[in-house]
Structures are given as C-alpha cells and as structure tokens.
Structure 1
Amino acid sequence: MNTSKPALLSIDAIDVHYGSVQALHGVSLHVNAGEVVSVLGGNASGKSTTLKSVLGLVTPTQGRIVLEHRDIQGSAPADVIDLGVASVPEGRRVFPDMSVEENLLLGAYPRRKHKAEIAQDLGEVFGTFPRLAERRKQLAGTLSGGEQQMLALGRAWLRRGKLVCIDEPSMGLSPRFVDAVYEVLFRWKAAGQTILLVEQNARIALELADRAYVLQHGHVVLQGNAADLAKDSAVQKAYLGAA
C-alpha cells in the first residue's frame, strides 16, 4: 500500500437497509489512488451492497461516501459515472441487441468529444481481447459468458475512470476465462488503475489486491494487507479451503 497517496474513495460507517432487513452495519473502508482493494465474503455478506452503495444503486441510511472530497451519498448512478467512476457489474449487463463495438463505445460516451483518444483506446481493447475484435459487429447477446465478461471489462476501460468498481468478475466463468480476466486486471494494476473489487474467489483476489476487507453478515470482520490476510488462519479456513 502506498500511504503517500490520498484516499480517492472513503466509505465511513454506512448502514444499508432493504426494507426492514439491515444489509450493512457501520461499514467503513477506503481506497487510495492507484491501489487495488478487494472486498471478500460469502453469500449475503454485504460485499455487493457495499459496491452498489458507491455506485448510487442503493442509498445508505447512515454514514458517508466521499469521492475525492465530494460527498456522493445519495447521488444518482449517472452522476457517479460522470464523476469518473466506471463499473463492471455482476452478470456483465451488456446490451444484448447491440453489437460488441456499440457496447464498447457506450463506455466511452462521457468522453465522446475526444474521438481520436477513443479510437486509440478502442484499438487497445481489441488488441487486449482479440475475440472481441473478431466479433466487433456481432450482437453482444450471442457471446459466451466469458466473452461478455471481456466486453464488460473493455467497456469499463473505455470509460477511463479514476476508479473502477468490479463486482464478481469470476462468477460463472471457466478457469480459462477467469485466468484471462485476471490477466487483464493485473495489467490494469500495473498501469496504476484504482480498483475496488468484490469477489468470492478469495485466493485470486488476494493475489491481485494491495489491501482487503472481509465482510460477514454486513460487518467488516477483518481488514489489512492482502498478503497478510492470505496467510491468516481464519481467512484460509473460511475462504481458501485450508483444513
């Protein structure tokens, strides 16, 4: 972790309710500029709700969310995106009746006036994902799950956001596609991209992350350096398959 860089994102003691059910209990975390932070936990732990709170998809009932000194709690998702946040949602959420290229260009829509830069970035995405280049005019709904995840990553990259929020990128993918997805995420990390990652695959998430938080029943129960957490006996037993 590079402590010399300011916190790009700060989540301060947020509670989230779905009706009468409380999903998050005083969750706090921060992401420094240029850092990869992973949020781990099992089903119904609150990790995806944490990400949705940042993206404006749910509104906390208490606490604050600050992006670069700006309170974004209660902001609409479109406003959060306009502030420089990109999203790779769970389940990919591509537009099935639009082509691969059209889906990618939607990611660049906030930068639409910079056509030369977008064209260069589009070429970079196609270079990273040759399968997408081969299928650039194909409808996104006809792609495999792994190809759609590549498309979701490419769309987020074209946003060129200051922060990329990624929700369960390995879910439902074959080991081959998981490796391909994380190869790209490791490249993003090397390029200095700030990432907030929600992931059930704790082993690979801890390899990628600088720091991590572990959620259980909506509470942060562990946090720290990712390499240290990977050696933690509680994390190994719960998430890494250790006996």
Structure 2
Amino acid sequence: MPSSRRSATAVEPVAQPSGPDLALKRRARRILRLLTARYPDARLELDFASPLQLLVAAVLAAQALDERVNAVTPVLFGRFPTAADLAAADPEEMERILVPVGYYRKKTASVIKLAEALVERHGGEVPRTVDELVALPSVGRKTANMVLGNAFGTPAVSVDTHVGRVAHRLGWAEEKDVEAVEQAIRSLFDRKDWVPANLLLILHGRRTCHSRRPACGACPLLAECPSAGPPVKGELDPEEARALLK
C-alpha cells in the first residue's frame, strides 16, 4: 500500500549570478558611448610601427612624456632597427639618443638588456603571451597588455595611473589595486571593447579627469560619476572646468 506521505524532493540550489549586474554593465556601455563621442579618434599616443617598437617605447615612456619618446624613437630605430641591433648597440651612442627622455643611462641599459633577452629567448621577435612578456626584463603586466592590445590586436586591458584613477572615481575598483581595475574592466565590457575602452579611459584621465583638479563641469560623464565635485575637489563650474581641459 503506497505511503500517504509525499516523497521528499531534492531542491536544486539557485545559481547565483557572477560578475557585475546588468545595471552596472548598462552604465558601463553608456560611459563607453559618451567617451567615444568625446574622443572619436582615440588611439595610443606612443608612436610605433611594430611590436618591437611599441615594447621599447613603453620602456622609454617610464617617467617621460609620450611626446618626448616619440621624438627620439625614429632616431633610435633608424639606427638600431632590430632587436639584434639594439642588443649589440654601443651604450654611449644609445645614451646620446635617449638623453631627451630622462634617466638615459638606466634606460639604455634596460633597452639593451631587453633586446638581449628577445634575441636569446625568442629569436628577436616579441612574444604574444602575457607570461612570456612579463618574463622579459623591464616588462610588467601594464606594458605586456599594452603590447598585446595595440600591437597584436589581442583583447587586453593595460592599467596605468590614468585608468586606475578614472575606474576608481567611477566606482569600479580601488585605484591602487591594478589587478582589480583590470578585472573590473574585463568584466564590464565585451572582449571586443577592452582595447577601445582602455584607450578612452587613458585619454579621459589625461585630458579631463586629472589627478588633482578634474574638470567635472566639462566632463561628459558628470551624470554617471559618483565622485564628481567635492569628493575629489573637482571643478564643477562649466567655464572654469573648460579651462582645465587638455
């Protein structure tokens, strides 16, 4: 005789959503559209014609303006066009070329050591993975992702001080936690948008969302930014803010 008690039914656990919620992703897409409208011709501001040139330029750009790096790299690569040429370069000659970028002795040593590693480990070619790139002298994750995204077209996010600052002010991650910022951007945007979003955030940090006095009153993200105004001492007056734009 069948029991009158109902048999216990196993309750399947409810899957919890992973990553940012839909509202955050929609807001991120709005931000991307606004930044695209503000900077329609966004591109990396370091000039390069090959992965090797970008890799070396990124090393030279440490504590130097991109404009100064762009002024010396045509001379540098005109004299030493390949990794083998850079590895075999006379240090004093390279130092004379690199004087305008500052710390020229240290940077000369870094470039030569990097070139030697490229020749010894990769036949003079720039590798295409983060792990191989960060194993090279003077190459960190920021530079590795910059090269992958801009020289090889591989979806990647390179977090510099500008990207970290803007992402923090938008409420995406802590400014000093580089890995958290990188992960936040990767999770908020589709892979195809990682590099464009990355470039837009860099430009926005350089031209509008400055570290000390951001031009909040002239910022296209004013309505989307939780940090606009007093929290970061941003300039809210439109006229005053426009004068701060670069």
Query: Larger Cα Rg: Structure 1 or Structure 2?
Result: 2
TM-score by length of 2: 0.29
* Greater per-residue strand proportion: 1
Structure with the bigger RCO (C-alpha within 8 Å, sep 6+) is 1
Which TM-score applies when normalising by structure 1? 0.29
